[in-house]
């Protein structure tokens, strides 16, 4: 059985199996709780016992199991049926489950492969000027050039990003007004980098590379692990900066013909 959570339950979220997906799900919960339509959470039950959670945050879904539980094939089939009805634009979960679910989702979703990377610090913080508290309007001006989905989502992006930053769950960085990166979450001693972008006229001039190297060293100095996800064709790029692949990852993306614009 799958049912929607309508009341906050910190203990349930604290029971999630530790990993990149549960950290992101918990960051959503810590930011908004269960009272917003754009941040919905669902419990997966075995009898009267919760064994996992599904989140749908805006158009993205995460699926995580709780410590001590493993989803059965029947439970994965139920999860797939639920997701096929909800039709989130993306679905992320443990790749071991994703491999078993792929055939149940392949009518609506295409399968994309990624790598999870962790930064390997060198102990050499580069001497470059990085704005660690940039105006979010300046960050957005760069992001909208690289992420078309953000072009018409200024208010939503600003509200969410500023909300997370105020709660210490995110941070944005800016280098010379030309390249930017924002943490998807900062939680449990791990910072996940997302939304890296450079203005078109400055691409190819190593601004993003230098910024990512600086962030890796800066946050490592502060005691954080620094992670990111990237598609397979970008592996060598991140390895040259100082990131090492630590896991293979699968994400399901809704096929274009099923998307509602």
Output the average pLDDT for the chain.
95
Do 162 and 101 fall into the same domain? no
Residues 152, 241 within the same domain: yes
pLDDT for 93 beyond 90: yes
pLDDT in tens, 185-209: 999 999 999 999 999 999 999 999 9
H/E run at residue 145 = helix 136-146
Does residue 254 sit within a domain? no
Query: Model confidence over 68-92: pLDDT tens digits?
Result: 999 999 999 999 999 999 999 999 9
Q: Match 């979960």 to its residue by tokens.
A: 93
Given a cut of 90, whether residue 150 has pLDDT beyond it is: no
255 part of a folded domain: no
Residue 13 lies in a domain: yes
Residue 258: pLDDT above 90? no
Same domain? 133 vs 18: no
In angstroms, the CA 187 to CA 200 distance is: 32
Report the distance separating Cα 249 and Cα 246, nearest Å: 10
Q: Are residues 41 and 142 in the same domain?
A: no
Domain of 180, CATH number, reads 3.40.630.30
In the chain, pLDDT over 70 holds for what percent of residues?
A: 100
**What number is the average pLDDT over the span 105-118?**
96
pLDDT of residue 148: 84
Question: Do 98 and 123 lie in a common domain?
Answer: no
CB 168 within 8 A of CB 183: no
Domain that holds residue 190: 118-248
d(CA 150, CA 144): 5
Which pLDDT belongs to residue 153?
86
| 60 and 152 within one domain | no
Please give the pLDDT value at position 147: 87
241 shares a domain with 124: yes
60-65 and 90-92 strand pairing: parallel
Give residue 261's pLDDT.
62
- DSSP-assigned states of every residue in 165-225: HHTTS--EEEETTTEEEEEEEEETTEEEEEEEEE-GGGTTSSHHHHHHHHHHHHHHHTT-E
Indicate which CATH number applies to the domain containing 96: 3.40.630
Q: What is the pLDDT of residue 140?
A: 95
Q: Are residues 10 and 93 in the same domain?
A: yes
- In the chain, the number of structural domains is 2
- Over residues 17-53, the pLDDT tens digits come to 999 999 999 999 999 999 999 999 999 999 999 999 9
Report the distance separating Cα 194 and Cα 82, nearest Å: 28
Confidence of residue 260 (pLDDT cuts 50, 70, 90): confident
Which strands make up the sheet holding 49-57, listed edge to edge? 2-4, 39-46, 49-57, 60-65, 90-92, 243-254, 109-119, 225-231, 190-198, 179-187, 172-175
pLDDT grade for 152, boundaries at 50, 70 and 90 = confident
């Amino acid at each position: 059985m799958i049912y929607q959570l309508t009341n906050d339950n910190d203990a349930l979220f604290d029971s999630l199996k530790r990993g990149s997906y549960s950290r992101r799900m918990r960051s959503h919960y810590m930011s908004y709780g269960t009272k917003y339509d754009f941040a919905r959470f669902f419990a997966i039950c075995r009898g009267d016992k919760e064994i996992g959670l599904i989140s749908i945050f805006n158009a993205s879904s995460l699926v995580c199991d709780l410590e001590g539980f493993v989803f059965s094939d029947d439970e994965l089939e139920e999860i797939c049926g639920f997701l096929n009805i909800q039709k989130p634009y993306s679905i992320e979960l443990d790749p071991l489950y994703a491999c078993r679910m792929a055939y149940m989702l392949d009518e609506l979703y295409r399968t994309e492969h990624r790598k999870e990377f962790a930064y390997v610090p060198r102990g050499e913080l580069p001497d470059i000027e990085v704005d660690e508290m940039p105006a979010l309007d300046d960050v957005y001006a760069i992001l909208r050039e690289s992420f078309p989905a953000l072009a018409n989502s200024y208010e939503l992006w600003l509200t969410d990003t500023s909300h997370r930053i105020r709660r210490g769950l995110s941070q944005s960085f800016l280098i010379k007004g030309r390249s930017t990166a924002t943490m998807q979450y900062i939680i449990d001693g791990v910072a996940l980098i997302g939304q890296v972008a450079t203005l078109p006229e400055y691409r190819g001039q190593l601004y993003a590379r230098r910024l990512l190297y600086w962030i890796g060293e800066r946050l490592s100095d502060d005691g954080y692990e620094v992670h990111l996800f990237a598609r397979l064709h970008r592996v060598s790029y991140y390895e040259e900066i100082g990131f090492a692949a630590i896991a293979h990852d699968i994400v399901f993306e809704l096929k274009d013909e099923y998307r509602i614009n």
